[in-house]
Amino acid sequence: MKTKSTTKKIMLAAMTIGLAICAMTLLSCGRGSSLRKDVNLDKDASYAIGMSFGYTFVTDGIVPNMNEFVKGMTDMLAGKETRFTEQEAMVIIQTAIRSLMLAKESENMEKEIAFLEENRRRPGVIETESGLQYEILVETTGRRPTASDLVQAHFEGSFIDGEVFESSYNYGEPMTFHLGGVIPGWTEGLQLMSVGSKFRFYIPSELAYGHDGSGRMPPFTTLIFDLELISIVD
Protein backbone atom coordinates (compact mmCIF):
# COMPACT_ATOMS: atom_id res chain seq x y z
CA MET A 1 0.00 0.00 0.00
CA LYS A 2 1.62 3.29 -1.08
CA THR A 3 1.34 6.18 1.35
CA LYS A 4 0.39 8.66 -1.31
CA SER A 5 0.01 11.79 0.83
CA THR A 6 3.22 11.14 2.76
CA THR A 7 5.09 10.47 -0.47
CA LYS A 8 3.92 13.79 -1.90
CA LYS A 9 4.96 15.72 1.20
CA ILE A 10 8.46 14.22 1.36
CA MET A 11 9.13 14.32 -2.35
CA LEU A 12 7.87 17.89 -2.66
CA ALA A 13 9.98 18.89 0.33
CA ALA A 14 13.03 17.29 -1.27
CA MET A 15 12.29 19.09 -4.54
CA THR A 16 11.85 22.39 -2.72
CA ILE A 17 15.19 22.01 -0.94
CA GLY A 18 16.87 21.00 -4.18
CA LEU A 19 15.41 23.96 -6.04
CA ALA A 20 16.51 26.32 -3.28
CA ILE A 21 20.06 24.99 -3.49
CA CYS A 22 20.05 25.25 -7.28
CA ALA A 23 18.65 28.78 -7.12
CA MET A 24 21.29 29.87 -4.60
CA THR A 25 24.00 28.38 -6.81
CA LEU A 26 22.75 30.21 -9.88
CA LEU A 27 22.33 33.43 -7.91
CA SER A 28 25.89 33.18 -6.64
CA CYS A 29 27.09 32.81 -10.23
CA GLY A 30 25.07 35.80 -11.40
CA ARG A 31 25.31 38.03 -8.34
CA GLY A 32 24.85 41.68 -9.20
CA SER A 33 22.60 41.05 -12.19
CA SER A 34 19.06 42.47 -12.38
CA LEU A 35 15.79 41.09 -13.70
CA ARG A 36 15.29 41.70 -17.40
CA LYS A 37 12.25 43.81 -18.27
CA ASP A 38 10.98 41.34 -20.85
CA VAL A 39 10.75 38.42 -18.38
CA ASN A 40 7.32 36.81 -18.07
CA LEU A 41 7.33 35.25 -14.60
CA ASP A 42 4.32 33.08 -15.37
CA LYS A 43 6.27 31.32 -18.14
CA ASP A 44 9.94 32.05 -17.56
CA ALA A 45 10.09 30.98 -13.90
CA SER A 46 9.28 27.44 -15.03
CA TYR A 47 12.10 27.60 -17.57
CA ALA A 48 14.45 28.94 -14.88
CA ILE A 49 13.54 26.02 -12.61
CA GLY A 50 14.41 23.66 -15.47
CA MET A 51 17.73 25.46 -15.85
CA SER A 52 18.37 24.94 -12.13
CA PHE A 53 17.80 21.21 -12.39
CA GLY A 54 19.93 21.09 -15.53
CA TYR A 55 22.76 23.00 -13.86
CA THR A 56 22.78 20.53 -10.95
CA PHE A 57 22.76 17.54 -13.31
CA VAL A 58 25.66 18.91 -15.36
CA THR A 59 27.66 19.82 -12.26
CA ASP A 60 27.18 16.39 -10.70
CA GLY A 61 27.72 14.50 -13.95
CA ILE A 62 24.16 13.12 -13.97
CA VAL A 63 22.50 12.21 -17.28
CA PRO A 64 18.88 11.37 -16.42
CA ASN A 65 16.44 9.46 -18.57
CA MET A 66 14.39 12.52 -19.50
CA ASN A 67 11.22 10.56 -20.31
CA GLU A 68 11.16 9.01 -16.84
CA PHE A 69 12.27 12.25 -15.17
CA VAL A 70 9.37 14.14 -16.74
CA LYS A 71 6.98 11.25 -15.95
CA GLY A 72 7.92 11.32 -12.26
CA MET A 73 7.58 15.10 -12.16
CA THR A 74 4.19 15.20 -13.90
CA ASP A 75 2.80 12.38 -11.75
CA MET A 76 3.72 14.32 -8.63
CA LEU A 77 2.35 17.60 -9.95
CA ALA A 78 -0.91 15.93 -11.05
CA GLY A 79 -1.36 14.18 -7.71
CA LYS A 80 -1.34 10.74 -9.35
CA GLU A 81 -0.44 7.48 -7.67
CA THR A 82 3.36 7.30 -7.80
CA ARG A 83 5.33 4.28 -8.88
CA PHE A 84 7.28 4.12 -5.61
CA THR A 85 6.79 4.91 -1.95
CA GLU A 86 9.02 7.59 -0.43
CA GLN A 87 11.25 4.90 1.10
CA GLU A 88 11.63 3.12 -2.22
CA ALA A 89 12.35 6.39 -4.04
CA MET A 90 15.03 7.38 -1.54
CA VAL A 91 16.72 3.97 -1.76
CA ILE A 92 16.73 4.16 -5.57
CA ILE A 93 18.20 7.67 -5.53
CA GLN A 94 20.86 6.74 -2.99
CA THR A 95 21.79 3.61 -4.94
CA ALA A 96 22.06 5.58 -8.18
CA ILE A 97 24.24 8.23 -6.53
CA ARG A 98 26.47 5.58 -5.01
CA SER A 99 26.76 3.83 -8.37
CA LEU A 100 27.75 7.13 -9.98
CA MET A 101 30.35 7.77 -7.29
CA LEU A 102 31.85 4.28 -7.67
CA ALA A 103 32.08 4.75 -11.43
CA LYS A 104 33.84 8.10 -10.94
CA GLU A 105 36.21 6.60 -8.36
CA SER A 106 37.07 3.79 -10.76
CA GLU A 107 37.72 6.31 -13.54
CA ASN A 108 39.94 8.41 -11.26
CA MET A 109 41.86 5.33 -10.11
CA GLU A 110 42.54 4.27 -13.69
CA LYS A 111 43.72 7.79 -14.57
CA GLU A 112 45.98 7.89 -11.51
CA ILE A 113 47.59 4.52 -12.28
CA ALA A 114 48.18 5.46 -15.92
CA PHE A 115 49.60 8.89 -15.06
CA LEU A 116 52.04 7.63 -12.41
CA GLU A 117 53.15 4.73 -14.59
CA GLU A 118 53.99 7.04 -17.48
CA ASN A 119 55.44 9.77 -15.27
CA ARG A 120 57.96 7.51 -13.54
CA ARG A 121 59.54 6.76 -16.93
CA ARG A 122 60.29 10.41 -17.67
CA PRO A 123 63.96 11.49 -17.42
CA GLY A 124 64.67 13.30 -14.16
CA VAL A 125 61.76 11.82 -12.21
CA ILE A 126 62.78 10.01 -9.02
CA GLU A 127 60.46 7.66 -7.14
CA THR A 128 60.78 6.78 -3.45
CA GLU A 129 59.84 3.50 -1.83
CA SER A 130 56.48 4.94 -0.75
CA GLY A 131 55.54 5.79 -4.35
CA LEU A 132 56.23 9.53 -4.05
CA GLN A 133 57.64 10.90 -7.32
CA TYR A 134 59.63 14.11 -7.64
CA GLU A 135 61.85 16.26 -9.83
CA ILE A 136 64.60 18.58 -8.57
CA LEU A 137 64.05 22.08 -9.98
CA VAL A 138 66.55 23.96 -7.80
CA GLU A 139 69.04 22.05 -5.66
CA THR A 140 70.93 23.42 -2.68
CA THR A 141 73.05 21.91 0.10
CA GLY A 142 72.69 22.35 3.80
CA ARG A 143 70.24 21.64 6.55
CA ARG A 144 67.17 19.53 5.92
CA PRO A 145 64.07 19.55 8.12
CA THR A 146 62.80 16.64 10.20
CA ALA A 147 59.19 15.56 10.63
CA SER A 148 58.97 17.48 13.92
CA ASP A 149 60.20 20.82 12.51
CA LEU A 150 58.27 23.99 11.84
CA VAL A 151 59.01 25.19 8.32
CA GLN A 152 58.20 27.99 5.89
CA ALA A 153 57.55 27.03 2.29
CA HIS A 154 56.06 28.40 -0.88
CA PHE A 155 53.88 26.05 -2.90
CA GLU A 156 51.70 25.75 -5.93
CA GLY A 157 49.31 22.82 -6.22
CA SER A 158 47.68 21.50 -9.37
CA PHE A 159 45.78 18.50 -10.69
CA ILE A 160 47.24 16.26 -13.39
CA ASP A 161 45.22 18.13 -16.03
CA GLY A 162 47.17 21.29 -15.16
CA GLU A 163 44.45 23.11 -13.22
CA VAL A 164 46.01 25.07 -10.34
CA PHE A 165 43.87 24.80 -7.20
CA GLU A 166 46.01 26.69 -4.67
CA SER A 167 49.18 28.77 -4.57
CA SER A 168 50.93 30.59 -1.74
CA TYR A 169 52.56 32.84 -4.34
CA ASN A 170 49.18 34.47 -4.85
CA TYR A 171 49.27 35.64 -1.23
CA GLY A 172 52.80 37.04 -1.48
CA GLU A 173 54.17 35.13 1.49
CA PRO A 174 55.13 31.53 2.31
CA MET A 175 53.05 29.24 4.50
CA THR A 176 54.31 28.25 7.94
CA PHE A 177 53.40 24.79 9.21
CA HIS A 178 54.57 21.80 11.25
CA LEU A 179 55.97 19.17 8.91
CA GLY A 180 54.20 16.41 10.83
CA GLY A 181 50.80 18.05 10.41
CA VAL A 182 50.42 17.98 6.63
CA ILE A 183 49.66 15.28 4.05
CA PRO A 184 52.18 12.39 4.06
CA GLY A 185 53.54 13.36 0.64
CA TRP A 186 54.58 16.77 1.98
CA THR A 187 56.00 15.32 5.18
CA GLU A 188 58.18 12.90 3.26
CA GLY A 189 59.04 15.22 0.40
CA LEU A 190 60.16 18.26 2.36
CA GLN A 191 62.59 16.12 4.35
CA LEU A 192 64.42 15.48 1.06
CA MET A 193 64.96 19.22 0.56
CA SER A 194 67.57 21.65 1.85
CA VAL A 195 66.65 25.25 2.61
CA GLY A 196 66.47 27.20 -0.65
CA SER A 197 65.76 24.21 -2.84
CA LYS A 198 62.69 23.75 -5.02
CA PHE A 199 61.20 20.38 -5.99
CA ARG A 200 58.17 19.29 -7.98
CA PHE A 201 56.30 16.45 -6.30
CA TYR A 202 53.82 14.04 -7.85
CA ILE A 203 51.87 12.81 -4.84
CA PRO A 204 49.70 9.67 -5.23
CA SER A 205 46.30 9.74 -3.56
CA GLU A 206 47.45 7.32 -0.86
CA LEU A 207 50.00 9.97 0.22
CA ALA A 208 47.48 12.81 -0.13
CA TYR A 209 43.71 12.62 0.48
CA GLY A 210 43.25 8.92 -0.06
CA HIS A 211 40.44 6.92 -1.58
CA ASP A 212 37.74 9.11 -0.04
CA GLY A 213 39.02 12.50 -1.14
CA SER A 214 38.41 15.69 0.81
CA GLY A 215 36.48 18.83 -0.12
CA ARG A 216 37.32 19.67 -3.72
CA MET A 217 39.86 16.83 -3.83
CA PRO A 218 38.13 13.87 -5.53
CA PRO A 219 38.92 10.26 -4.54
CA PHE A 220 42.03 8.69 -6.11
CA THR A 221 43.51 12.05 -7.11
CA THR A 222 47.22 12.48 -7.75
CA LEU A 223 48.34 15.99 -6.79
CA ILE A 224 51.27 17.92 -8.24
CA PHE A 225 53.05 20.40 -5.97
CA ASP A 226 55.92 22.75 -6.65
CA LEU A 227 57.46 23.20 -3.19
CA GLU A 228 60.13 25.75 -2.30
CA LEU A 229 61.62 25.38 1.19
CA ILE A 230 62.19 28.90 2.47
CA SER A 231 63.37 28.25 6.03
CA ILE A 232 63.31 25.99 9.06
CA VAL A 233 61.86 27.93 11.97
CA ASP A 234 63.88 27.43 15.18
Are the CB atoms for 170 and 179 separated by under 8 Å?
no
Domains of the chain listed by start with CATH number? 4-31+39-83 (no CATH), 114-233 (3.10.50.40)
* pLDDT above 50 for 1: no
| Dihedral (Cα; 142, 147, 148, 150), 10-degree rounding | 60
Q: What is the mean pLDDT of residues 227-232?
A: 97
Q: What is the mean pLDDT of residues 153-161?
A: 96
Q: What is the mean pLDDT of residues 119-140?
A: 97
Residue 193's nearest CA partner among 119, 134, 125, 113 is: 134
Are the CB atoms for 195 and 143 separated by under 8 Å?
yes
Mean pLDDT across the chain: 85
Helix (H, G, I), strand (E, B) or coil at 111: helix
Q: What is the mean pLDDT of residues 126-135?
A: 98
pLDDT digits (tens, 9 = 90+) for 188-214: 999 999 999 999 999 999 999 998 888
Q: What is the mean pLDDT of residues 72-88?
A: 88
Q: What is the mean pLDDT of residues 21-26?
A: 51
pLDDT, residue 33, reads: 58
pLDDT digits (tens, 9 = 90+) for 24-57: 555 445 555 566 777 777 788 788 888 888 887 7
Q: Looking at the chain, list the stretches that DSSP marks H as alpha helix, in order from N- to C-terminal side.
A: 4-29, 41-60, 66-78, 86-119, 184-190
183: left (phi over 0), alpha (psi -120 to 50) or beta: beta
* pLDDT above 90 for 224: yes
pTM score = 0.67
169 pLDDT tier (thresholds 50, 70, 90): very high
* pLDDT above 50 for 2: no
pLDDT, residue 116, reads: 97
pLDDT, residue 25, reads: 52
From CA 84, how far away is CA 95, in angstroms rounded?
15
Output DSSP code: residue 80.
P
Residue 225's nearest CA partner among 172, 143, 165 is: 165
pLDDT digits (tens, 9 = 90+) for 84-111: 888 898 898 888 888 887 888 888 999 9
Among 53-67, 150-164, 211-225, name the most confident range.
150-164
Output DSSP code: residue 191.
T
Burial class of 210 by CB neighbour count within 10 A (0 to 12, 13 to 18, 19+): middle
Are the CB atoms for 165 and 157 separated by under 8 Å?
yes
